[in-house]
Protein backbone atom coordinates (compact mmCIF):
# COMPACT_ATOMS: atom_id res chain seq x y z
CA UNK A 1 0.00 0.00 0.00
CA UNK A 2 1.23 3.51 -0.83
CA UNK A 3 2.39 5.72 2.08
CA UNK A 4 -0.50 8.12 1.44
CA UNK A 5 -3.13 5.38 1.58
CA UNK A 6 -1.52 3.84 4.64
CA UNK A 7 -1.75 7.10 6.61
CA UNK A 8 -5.37 7.67 5.64
CA UNK A 9 -6.32 4.09 6.64
CA UNK A 10 -4.56 4.50 9.99
CA UNK A 11 -6.28 7.85 10.57
CA UNK A 12 -9.68 6.51 9.52
CA UNK A 13 -9.41 3.97 12.33
CA UNK A 14 -9.12 6.85 14.78
CA UNK A 15 -12.20 8.73 13.60
CA UNK A 16 -15.23 9.41 15.76
CA UNK A 17 -18.41 11.06 14.57
CA UNK A 18 -20.07 13.98 16.31
CA UNK A 19 -23.02 16.00 14.98
CA UNK A 20 -22.32 14.69 11.49
CA UNK A 21 -18.63 15.54 11.48
CA UNK A 22 -15.73 13.11 11.56
CA UNK A 23 -13.10 14.05 14.13
CA UNK A 24 -9.83 12.21 14.64
CA UNK A 25 -9.18 10.97 18.14
CA UNK A 26 -5.50 11.86 18.10
CA UNK A 27 -2.97 13.18 20.58
CA UNK A 28 -0.46 15.88 19.65
CA UNK A 29 2.16 13.13 19.22
CA UNK A 30 -0.05 11.22 16.80
CA UNK A 31 -0.86 14.44 14.97
CA UNK A 32 2.86 15.11 14.51
CA UNK A 33 3.34 11.55 13.13
CA UNK A 34 0.59 12.28 10.61
CA UNK A 35 2.24 15.61 9.70
CA UNK A 36 5.53 13.82 9.07
CA UNK A 37 3.74 11.17 7.00
CA UNK A 38 1.84 13.76 4.94
CA UNK A 39 5.09 15.48 4.03
CA UNK A 40 6.80 12.23 3.05
CA UNK A 41 3.78 11.14 1.01
CA UNK A 42 3.59 14.43 -0.95
CA UNK A 43 0.51 16.01 -2.48
CA UNK A 44 -1.77 18.43 -0.65
CA UNK A 45 -3.19 17.57 2.77
CA UNK A 46 -5.63 19.73 4.70
CA UNK A 47 -5.67 19.78 8.48
CA UNK A 48 -8.63 21.34 10.27
CA UNK A 49 -8.45 22.11 13.96
CA UNK A 50 -12.15 21.99 14.74
CA UNK A 51 -13.81 23.97 17.51
CA UNK A 52 -17.38 23.96 18.80
CA UNK A 53 -18.27 27.28 17.15
CA UNK A 54 -17.42 25.96 13.70
CA UNK A 55 -19.00 22.56 14.27
CA UNK A 56 -22.21 24.35 15.28
CA UNK A 57 -22.06 26.58 12.18
CA UNK A 58 -21.54 23.49 10.04
CA UNK A 59 -24.94 22.13 11.13
CA UNK A 60 -26.52 24.83 8.95
CA UNK A 61 -23.88 25.04 6.26
CA UNK A 62 -23.52 22.06 3.94
CA UNK A 63 -20.35 23.33 2.31
CA UNK A 64 -18.64 23.66 5.65
CA UNK A 65 -19.73 20.24 6.92
CA UNK A 66 -18.65 18.49 3.72
CA UNK A 67 -15.32 20.30 3.76
CA UNK A 68 -14.70 19.13 7.35
CA UNK A 69 -15.50 15.57 6.33
CA UNK A 70 -13.14 15.74 3.37
CA UNK A 71 -10.13 17.02 5.33
CA UNK A 72 -7.20 14.64 5.75
CA UNK A 73 -6.99 15.30 9.47
CA UNK A 74 -9.50 16.94 11.83
CA UNK A 75 -8.18 17.54 15.32
CA UNK A 76 -10.28 18.47 18.38
CA UNK A 77 -9.34 22.13 18.82
CA UNK A 78 -11.46 23.27 21.73
CA UNK A 79 -12.60 22.03 25.11
CA UNK A 80 -16.20 22.25 23.79
CA UNK A 81 -15.45 19.49 21.28
CA UNK A 82 -13.77 17.34 23.93
CA UNK A 83 -16.71 17.88 26.31
CA UNK A 84 -19.29 17.10 23.60
CA UNK A 85 -17.56 13.89 22.53
CA UNK A 86 -17.33 12.78 26.14
CA UNK A 87 -20.99 13.58 26.76
CA UNK A 88 -22.05 11.61 23.68
CA UNK A 89 -20.00 8.60 24.73
CA UNK A 90 -17.26 8.87 22.10
CA UNK A 91 -14.46 10.31 24.25
CA UNK A 92 -11.46 12.02 22.69
CA UNK A 93 -7.96 11.67 24.13
CA UNK A 94 -6.97 15.31 24.18
CA UNK A 95 -7.26 18.76 22.65
CA UNK A 96 -4.99 19.49 19.72
CA UNK A 97 -5.49 23.19 19.11
CA UNK A 98 -4.34 25.17 16.09
CA UNK A 99 -2.00 27.36 18.11
CA UNK A 100 -0.40 24.38 19.90
CA UNK A 101 0.01 22.58 16.59
CA UNK A 102 1.64 25.67 15.08
CA UNK A 103 4.17 25.83 17.93
CA UNK A 104 4.90 22.09 17.72
CA UNK A 105 5.38 22.07 13.94
CA UNK A 106 7.66 25.11 14.15
CA UNK A 107 9.64 23.47 16.96
CA UNK A 108 10.26 20.40 14.77
CA UNK A 109 10.72 22.31 11.50
CA UNK A 110 14.47 23.14 11.75
CA UNK A 111 15.40 19.50 12.44
CA UNK A 112 13.06 18.15 9.75
CA UNK A 113 13.93 20.85 7.21
CA UNK A 114 10.26 21.78 6.75
CA UNK A 115 9.76 25.13 5.02
CA UNK A 116 6.96 27.23 6.51
CA UNK A 117 4.76 29.92 4.95
CA UNK A 118 2.66 32.27 7.08
CA UNK A 119 -0.41 33.69 5.33
CA UNK A 120 -2.89 35.82 7.23
CA UNK A 121 -3.61 38.43 9.91
CA UNK A 122 -3.31 42.20 9.63
CA UNK A 123 -0.34 43.86 7.85
CA UNK A 124 2.81 43.52 9.93
CA UNK A 125 1.50 40.76 12.19
CA UNK A 126 2.70 37.76 10.16
CA UNK A 127 6.12 39.45 9.78
CA UNK A 128 6.38 39.91 13.53
CA UNK A 129 5.20 36.31 14.08
CA UNK A 130 7.92 35.11 11.66
CA UNK A 131 10.53 37.17 13.51
CA UNK A 132 9.46 35.66 16.85
CA UNK A 133 9.48 32.13 15.44
CA UNK A 134 13.02 32.64 14.08
CA UNK A 135 14.14 33.81 17.50
CA UNK A 136 12.47 30.92 19.32
CA UNK A 137 13.48 28.20 16.84
CA UNK A 138 16.84 29.14 15.32
CA UNK A 139 17.34 27.65 11.86
CA UNK A 140 13.63 27.59 11.01
CA UNK A 141 13.05 28.23 7.29
CA UNK A 142 10.27 30.77 6.94
CA UNK A 143 9.71 30.49 3.20
CA UNK A 144 7.35 33.46 3.00
CA UNK A 145 5.00 35.77 4.82
CA UNK A 146 1.92 37.66 3.66
CA UNK A 147 -0.97 39.42 5.36
CA UNK A 148 -4.50 38.08 5.05
CA UNK A 149 -6.19 41.25 3.84
CA UNK A 150 -6.60 40.73 0.13
CA UNK A 151 -9.83 40.73 -1.84
CA UNK A 152 -11.01 37.16 -2.01
CA UNK A 153 -13.22 38.10 -4.99
CA UNK A 154 -10.47 39.74 -7.00
CA UNK A 155 -8.85 37.19 -9.36
CA UNK A 156 -5.69 39.27 -9.85
CA UNK A 157 -5.09 39.65 -6.14
CA UNK A 158 -5.67 35.94 -5.55
CA UNK A 159 -3.29 35.08 -8.42
CA UNK A 160 -0.71 37.31 -6.84
CA UNK A 161 -0.99 35.52 -3.49
CA UNK A 162 -0.87 32.08 -5.15
CA UNK A 163 2.24 32.96 -7.17
CA UNK A 164 3.97 34.29 -4.08
CA UNK A 165 3.28 31.08 -2.16
CA UNK A 166 4.28 28.84 -5.10
CA UNK A 167 7.59 30.67 -5.51
CA UNK A 168 8.36 30.25 -1.83
CA UNK A 169 8.29 26.44 -2.26
CA UNK A 170 6.99 25.83 1.25
CA UNK A 171 6.09 22.44 2.69
CA UNK A 172 3.55 23.72 5.19
CA UNK A 173 1.34 26.79 5.02
CA UNK A 174 -0.40 28.18 8.09
CA UNK A 175 -3.38 30.29 7.10
CA UNK A 176 -4.62 32.66 9.80
CA UNK A 177 -7.63 34.37 8.25
CA UNK A 178 -10.30 33.19 10.67
CA UNK A 179 -12.57 30.19 10.31
CA UNK A 180 -14.24 29.30 8.00
CA UNK A 181 -12.73 31.89 5.58
CA UNK A 182 -9.34 30.14 5.72
CA UNK A 183 -10.93 26.70 5.17
CA UNK A 184 -12.80 27.97 2.10
CA UNK A 185 -9.56 29.46 0.79
CA UNK A 186 -7.83 26.08 1.17
CA UNK A 187 -10.71 24.28 -0.53
CA UNK A 188 -10.67 26.72 -3.47
CA UNK A 189 -6.94 27.24 -3.92
CA UNK A 190 -5.10 24.64 -1.82
CA UNK A 191 -3.93 22.68 -4.86
CA UNK A 192 -2.43 25.85 -6.39
CA UNK A 193 -0.24 26.58 -3.38
CA UNK A 194 2.29 23.82 -4.05
CA UNK A 195 2.42 22.87 -0.37
CA UNK A 196 2.04 19.46 1.23
CA UNK A 197 0.08 20.64 4.24
CA UNK A 198 -2.36 23.54 4.65
CA UNK A 199 -3.69 24.35 8.11
CA UNK A 200 -6.13 27.07 9.12
CA UNK A 201 -5.04 28.56 12.44
CA UNK A 202 -7.53 31.39 13.07
CA UNK A 203 -6.13 34.16 15.22
CA UNK A 204 -2.86 32.34 16.04
CA UNK A 205 -0.48 34.80 14.31
CA UNK A 206 -1.75 37.56 16.63
CA UNK A 207 -0.68 35.40 19.58
CA UNK A 208 2.70 34.39 18.08
CA UNK A 209 3.37 38.04 17.20
CA UNK A 210 2.57 39.03 20.79
CA UNK A 211 -0.31 41.30 19.72
CA UNK A 212 -2.86 39.18 21.61
CA UNK A 213 -2.20 37.23 24.79
CA UNK A 214 -3.28 33.62 25.01
CA UNK A 215 -5.34 32.56 28.05
CA UNK A 216 -3.32 31.60 31.14
CA UNK A 217 -2.56 27.86 31.36
CA UNK A 218 -4.96 27.35 34.29
CA UNK A 219 -7.82 28.66 32.13
CA UNK A 220 -6.78 26.40 29.25
CA UNK A 221 -6.74 23.44 31.64
CA UNK A 222 -10.14 24.36 33.09
CA UNK A 223 -11.61 24.47 29.59
CA UNK A 224 -12.52 28.15 29.84
CA UNK A 225 -10.17 29.60 27.24
CA UNK A 226 -13.33 30.90 25.51
CA UNK A 227 -13.98 33.15 28.54
CA UNK A 228 -10.53 34.72 28.22
CA UNK A 229 -11.07 35.37 24.51
CA UNK A 230 -14.42 36.95 25.29
CA UNK A 231 -12.88 39.20 27.99
CA UNK A 232 -10.02 40.27 25.71
CA UNK A 233 -12.15 40.68 22.58
CA UNK A 234 -15.72 41.50 23.74
CA UNK A 235 -16.71 42.03 20.10
CA UNK A 236 -16.69 38.24 19.79
CA UNK A 237 -19.81 37.91 21.98
CA UNK A 238 -22.22 37.47 19.07
CA UNK A 239 -20.40 34.58 17.43
CA UNK A 240 -19.71 33.07 20.85
CA UNK A 241 -23.43 32.61 21.35
CA UNK A 242 -22.83 29.51 19.26
CA UNK A 243 -21.14 27.91 22.27
CA UNK A 244 -24.27 27.61 24.47
CA UNK A 245 -26.18 26.67 21.32
CA UNK A 246 -23.65 23.91 20.70
CA UNK A 247 -24.12 22.64 24.27
CA UNK A 248 -27.90 22.63 23.77
CA UNK A 249 -27.58 20.71 20.52
CA UNK A 250 -25.27 18.09 22.06
CA UNK A 251 -27.74 17.59 24.94
CA UNK A 252 -30.66 17.29 22.50
CA UNK A 253 -28.72 14.77 20.41
CA UNK A 254 -28.02 12.63 23.45
CA UNK A 255 -31.70 12.66 24.41
CA UNK A 256 -32.72 11.70 20.88
CA UNK A 257 -30.28 8.81 20.87
CA UNK A 258 -31.73 7.72 24.21
CA UNK A 259 -28.23 7.66 25.66
| Chain residues that interact with ligand UDP, rule: CB under 6 A | 120-122, 148-149, 176-179, 202-203, 205-206
| Minimum distance from residue 196 beta carbon to ligand UDP (Å) | 22
- Please name the residue ranges forming H helices in the chain: 3-12, 28-41, 52-58, 62-70, 79-87, 98-112, 125-136, 155-168, 181-189, 204-208, 217-222, 225-232, 237-240, 242-257
| Minimum distance from residue 2 beta carbon to ligand UDP (Å) | 33
| Minimum distance from residue 212 beta carbon to ligand UDP (Å) | 8
Alpha-carbon span 162 to 157, nearest angstrom: 9
| CB nearer ligand UDP, residue 167 or residue 233 | 233
Residue 146, strand partner residues: 119
| CB nearer ligand UDP, residue 121 or residue 198 | 121
| CB nearer ligand UDP, residue 14 or residue 181 | 181
| Minimum distance from residue 157 beta carbon to ligand UDP (Å) | 12
Exposure of 43 in the CB half-sphere (CA atoms within 13 A): 10
**Strand 141-146 with 115-120, pairing:** parallel
| CB nearer ligand UDP, residue 174 or residue 205 | 205
Amino acid sequence: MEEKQLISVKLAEKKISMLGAGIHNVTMEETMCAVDGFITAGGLHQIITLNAEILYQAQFNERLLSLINKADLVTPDGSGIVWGADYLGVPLKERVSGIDLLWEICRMAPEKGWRIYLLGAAPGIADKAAENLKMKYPGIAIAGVRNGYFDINNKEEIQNVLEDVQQAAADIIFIAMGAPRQEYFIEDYGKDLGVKIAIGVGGSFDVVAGAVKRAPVFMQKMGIEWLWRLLCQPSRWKRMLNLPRFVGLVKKTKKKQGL
